[in-house]
Amino acid sequence: HGDSRDFDEAVQSVCPFCGVGCQVSLKLKDGKVKYVEGINGPANEGRLCVKGRFGFDYIHHPHRLTKPLIRLDGAEKGLNVDPANPLTHFREASWDEAMEVAASGLAKLRDQGGETVAGFGSAKCTNEEAYLFQKLIRQGFGHNNVDHCTRLCHASSVSALMENVGSGAVSATFNEIEHADVAIVIGANPIENHPVAATFFKQFAKRGGKLIVMDPRGHALKRFASHMVQFRPGADVPLLNSIMSVIVEEGLYDQAYIDRFTENWEHEKQHLAGFAPETLEDLTGIDAATVRDVARTFAKGKAGMIFWGMGVSQHIHGTDNSRCLISLALMTGNVGKPGAGLHPLRGQNNVQGASDAGLIPMFLPDYQDVTDDGVRSAFTEIWGSGDFSDKKGLTVTEIMDAVHDGTIRGMYILGENPAMSDPDVTHARAALAKLEHLVVQDIFLTETANYADVILPAAAFYEKTGTVTNTNRQVQMGRAAATPPGDAREDWQITIELAQRLGLGWGYTHPREIFAEMARGMPSLDNITWERLEREDAVTYPSLSPEDPGQPIVFADGFPREGGRARFTPASVIPPDETPDADYPMILTTGRQLEHWHTGSMTRRSKVLDAVEPGANCSLHPATLRKLGVEPGGMVKLQTRRGEIEVMARADRAVAPDMVFLPFAYVEAAANILTNPAIDPYGKIPEFKFSAVRVTAA
Ligand code: SF4
């Protein structure tokens, strides 16, 4: 894929896909990225996966938006625009005209009163852009109706971590597994979704580390596992409670750690008495002997880590699932020391940073409570503006409901694709169509842009300069390598122009000025400056001095909660919102595949990735396919209470006979037509991992 001498220039940046945050060297020829190499970043140590290595050419794809677009009078809103020919529904406009239409439509709604405008920012943008976006909604519209895809990803994990540990970020980097002797990976499929992190997990297992993999799907990490616990979907809480009940029963907990660093232990202990594994085999699908072995293996380890993904978080009991994992780490003393810790594997390249930057409706930057008068006034002082609402804003799914009931009438959507990514997407698409004014800013004419009144063409990540924060809390410098096509501009520049037209008078001229303002209101960025990041490329927060590269492990001396103690919060068993029945007898679960990223807008326009995985598919157990009379490669119909799709079926023994796994990257068989919008009451995350489904031959 190109000879190492076959380039004019190399630019160092960060992979734009997953939360691992691999550092890359982009090799350029004639102003275009020709190929990509992994370099020695703190997370990747020179490694890259197939997406990082080959998924770059989307930035040069002919579908890139190059001019601002305004919807033609009378053009119907719906999934009806060919991204190769948007001029059937839109006309090209100058930046001046498009910005005027975009801003005046939003200002008109604002000036009519009420909280009728909402914004979705993006975990694909830089920290500076995420910060500006939430500031625009709060300062420009006076309320907190601003959210992003963390709501669909780890919102429940963050809510449990904030509640019980006092911080939403990981307590240890994933690279710390090097110092562990036992690790649990639950509800995550890192070989596909965090592939470079998975290489460290495999090396850990090869060195003799005990790798306990727990998942309803038997994915590829199984080959490296000392224990593969393939439990019933939705049975996370009874399974984890039964593991902890064995630790209590057999006295394997770390009393000294519990006494020194935790609270509410006696309550947790009593609660766990009702979860003996022998009584739960039918519910969890796991025999008691295995549960006891797992409990002993984890508790007797000298240092243990717990990794989890969206198999844990995307349930109506997602917060409870994370509470259990936190309790398991606390009772075994596995936080705050080398080789130990809690690590929710973050999905998007900058979902950690966008959340840190306040792109969420309940928190200002650094998870500072928006209902706290002192917190708000600290920010309005930095911003030099008046107070804004002390009410928590609406979340992603609540915003779509609020459009339907007429409360929200206008939206500004930057880099998100709710017409594909929201649960029960038919409902979300109808909401987008109902909006009186929709401004979409993106690099392609996404499914969401099909509903826009104004489309603003943005720069892709490799065309921008700015910082991003990975799953390890490493703030890294991304550098522009290519020039945006046509009239496309960097997101921060567009948001600033919109702010100016809304009367906010912002005068930033470079992302470094935005970063400096962020750092004033975010203690997590103490000792981290733009200049330092330019020089050092990555600094882990917290960084204790201008020379400290940052702390890979936190909470060695206590937790950022009152009294310095973490809390045990017992979790009871809550069944999934929708259980299989005679009409919908199987279980649908959705997720990603190695080659494609989320709604596919980037990776399906990357030649190599699209060639490897060119079309929509689902996976079923071979026995299930036989029963249906469908050959592998044949078509099946999937129906839920929300809708139906037809999709090609693959045979996969890793999927339980009563389950179907469906990736959500494909518009031609959009998984979220089927998914259940029921949400976790704390994190407000939808139950993407469990819907009742009927599967028939198509
Ligand atoms: Fe990019 Fe993630 Fe792959 Fe690294 S592991 S190359 S960050 S997609």
Residues 668-686 pLDDT 10s: 999 999 999 999 999 999 9
Atom of ligand 1 nearest to the CA of 349: 7
- Rounded CA-CA distance 359/202 in Å is 34
The verdict on the CB of residue 24 being under 6 Å from ligand 1 is no
The ipTM of this complex is: 1.00
Query: Binning pLDDT at 50, 70 and 90, where does residue 219 land?
Result: confident
pLDDT digits 0-9 by tens, 126-156: 999 999 999 999 999 999 999 998 888 888 9
- Rounded CA-CA distance 596/618 in Å is 14
Atom of ligand 1 nearest to the CA of 52: 6
The verdict on the CB of residue 15 being under 6 Å from ligand 1 is yes
pLDDT at 2 > cutoff 80 = no
The residue whose CA is least distant from atom 6 of ligand 1 is 52
Give 49 Cα–ligand 1 centroid separation in angstroms. Answer: 5
What pLDDT, on the 0 to 100 scale, is given for residue 4?
56
Task: Please give the average per-residue pLDDT across 398-423, as a whole number.
Answer: 97
CA-based nearest residue to 323, from 574, 577, 563, 555: 574
The verdict on the CB of residue 324 being under 6 Å from ligand 1 is no
pLDDT at 62 > cutoff 70 = yes
Centre a 10 Å sphere on the Cβ of residue 338 and count the other Cβ atoms it contains.
15
What pLDDT, on the 0 to 100 scale, is given for residue 152?
87
The order of strands in the sheet holding 227-229 is: 227-229, 210-214, 182-186, 304-308, 341-344
What pLDDT, on the 0 to 100 scale, is given for residue 153?
82
The verdict on the CB of residue 20 being under 6 Å from ligand 1 is yes
Among 35, 44, 192, 200, the mutation site with the greatest number of ligand 1 atoms within 8 A of its Cβ is 44
**How many residues comprise the chain?**
698
- Rounded CA-CA distance 250/295 in Å is 10
The four Cα atoms 476, 481, 487, 492 give a dihedral, to 10 degrees, of 10
Q: Are 565 and 559 in contact (CB under 8 A)?
A: yes
- Rounded CA-CA distance 430/638 in Å is 21
pLDDT digits 0-9 by tens, 275-301: 999 999 999 999 999 999 999 999 999
Give 312 Cα–ligand 1 centroid separation in angstroms. Answer: 21
Give 595 Cα–ligand 1 centroid separation in angstroms. Answer: 11
- DSSP-derived pairing of the beta strands 691-697 and 635-639: antiparallel
Which amino acid belongs to residue 439? V
The residue whose CA is least distant from atom 4 of ligand 1 is 22
Dihedral class, residue 77 (left if φ above 0, else alpha if ψ from -120 to 50, else beta): beta
Q: Are 126 and 468 in contact (CB under 8 A)?
A: yes
Query: Binning pLDDT at 50, 70 and 90, where does residue 1 land?
Result: very low
pLDDT at 5 > cutoff 70 = no
What pLDDT, on the 0 to 100 scale, is given for residue 274?
92
Helix axes 491-501 and 127-141, enclosed angle (nearest 10): 10
- Rounded CA-CA distance 377/178 in Å is 44
**HSE toward the beta carbon, residue 604, CA cutoff 13 A:** 16
Q: Indicate the helix (H) or strand (E) that contains 377.
A: helix 373-383
Helix axes 127-141 and 95-111, enclosed angle (nearest 10): 50
pLDDT at 243 > cutoff 90 = yes
Atom of ligand 1 nearest to the CA of 43: 4
Angle formed at CA 168 by CA 167 and CA 173, multiple of 5 degrees: 95
What pLDDT, on the 0 to 100 scale, is given for residue 618?
98
How high is the mean pLDDT of the chain?
96
- Rounded CA-CA distance 233/284 in Å is 8
Locate tokens 């000879």: which residue?
A: 3
What pLDDT, on the 0 to 100 scale, is given for residue 308?
97
In three-state secondary structure terms, 50 is helix
pLDDT at 498 > cutoff 50 = yes
pLDDT at 394 > cutoff 80 = yes
What pLDDT, on the 0 to 100 scale, is given for residue 363?
96
Strand partners of residue 589 = 661
* Inter-residue long-range contacts of 523-529, CB under 8 Å, 24+ positions, other chains counted: 523/366, 524/356, 524/366, 525/475, 528/475
Give 153 Cα–ligand 1 centroid separation in angstroms. Answer: 17
Give 346 Cα–ligand 1 centroid separation in angstroms. Answer: 12
Q: Are 677 and 397 in contact (CB under 8 A)?
A: yes
Task: Please give the average per-residue pLDDT across 559-576, as a whole number.
Answer: 96
pLDDT digits 0-9 by tens, 103-117: 999 999 999 999 999
Query: Binning pLDDT at 50, 70 and 90, where does residue 3 land?
Result: low
CA-based nearest residue to 135, from 354, 297, 332, 301: 354
Give 542 Cα–ligand 1 centroid separation in angstroms. Answer: 23
Distances in whole angstroms, Cα of residue 31 to Cα of each of 61, 330, 459, 485:
14, 52, 15, 11
pLDDT at 442 > cutoff 90 = yes
> DSSP code of 562?
G
The verdict on the CB of residue 21 being under 6 Å from ligand 1 is yes
The verdict on the CB of residue 17 being under 6 Å from ligand 1 is yes
Give 20 Cα–ligand 1 centroid separation in angstroms. Answer: 6
Helices (H) and strands (E) in the chain, counts: 23, 30
What pLDDT, on the 0 to 100 scale, is given for residue 151?
85
- Rounded CA-CA distance 25/43 in Å is 15
Residue 467 has phi, psi (to 5 degrees) of -100, 150
The verdict on the CB of residue 36 being under 6 Å from ligand 1 is no
- Rounded CA-CA distance 1/607 in Å is 13
Q: Are 417 and 560 in contact (CB under 8 A)?
A: no
